[in-house]
Amino acid sequence: MTLENVYNAIDSNSNIDSNVKEDIKKLITIFNKTFPNIDLSNFAKRVNNLKIEKSNKYLNKRVVKYNFNTNVLEFNIEEINKGYDMKHILMHGLLNVISSNDVQSGFNYNDKFKALNAGYTEILTNNLVGNDGELSYLDDEVVSTNMIASMIGNDVLFESYFSNDTNKLVQALVNEGVEG
């Protein structure tokens, strides 16, 4: 899948404002330059009818949340207005779209490894676009994820995340003596 095909999929979505489409294209370009071996076919399929919605703290406690079942990317506007970097938060959300299939996001299957998945998404986000906001995001999850990465290797997390292979992650943890 070429980047041009991905741009066309973004442009074909009538649910997304044109300014937001341009922001998404910029971020996907950064992602693709950093990780050229990650196939964006799944993202192109999902972005075709992705809905972006505003929410509040009563509906979504996180700053950004992606629901792969409904293909809705939600932004908690009350939280964002507290000083988060919107480019950073949008990239975090897009990584969830990129790493989702029809049953899970990243290696978070049935909310198992939810915090680890969020922490790894945040690590990737920081590496891709940094964070120019007044507030950092998911600090505790990032620290925990870094500790696990030092045990099992970042390559295992990377491969598990982008291939939705929870079993690979579990096996690596078991091999290190961590049992559920």
Contacts of 171 (CB under 8 A, 6+ apart): none
Pairing of strands 64-67, 72-76: antiparallel
- Average pLDDT of adjacent 10-residue blocks, the chain of 180 residues: 95 96 98 97 96 83 91 90 92 97 94 95 97 90 96 97 96 85
pLDDT at residue 1, rounded to an integer: 85
> How far, in Å, CA of 43 to CA of 41, rounded?
5
Name the DSSP class of 59: T
Q: How far apart are CA 95 and CA 177, in angstroms?
A: 30
The SS3 assignment for 135 reads coil
Q: What is the pLDDT, as a whole number, of residue 71?
A: 97
pLDDT for position 180: 57
